[in-house]
Amino acid sequence: MKEVNLLPGYLRPEEQVLALTAAQGEGQGVLACTNRRLLFLFVGVVRRQFLEVDWNQTKHIFYSQSAKTFSVYTTKFSKRAVPAFTVRVNNLNDANAIAHAAQSAAAAPRLDVV
């Protein structure tokens, strides 16, 4: 919950959150889809993690139902492509909410949920 409370401090002027969900990176944090980017925030006692990719840099987002992970790519998607970031989203409904919000965002990339 603390990441949700800290999220406004990481948003840009006039940036709006379209959807958010709990996600696991280096720790349990929040994955947020905004009208400008997809970002992950985790704030722990010892470390913190902030990952972001703007929509104009994003080429592909892939959600794996079997691995329960969101992977964001800034290069063309292929089997050898390395994601800009990957986080775990355990709830399929939350993953779908993020995917639908991303599709409605300006210049939304291609999204696959498999």
What integer pLDDT is reported at residue 61 of this predicted model? 84
Dihedral class, residue 111 (left if φ above 0, else alpha if ψ from -120 to 50, else beta) = beta
What integer pLDDT is reported at residue 110 of this predicted model? 56
The model's pTM is 0.86
What integer pLDDT is reported at residue 32 of this predicted model? 94
d(CA 97, CA 93): 6
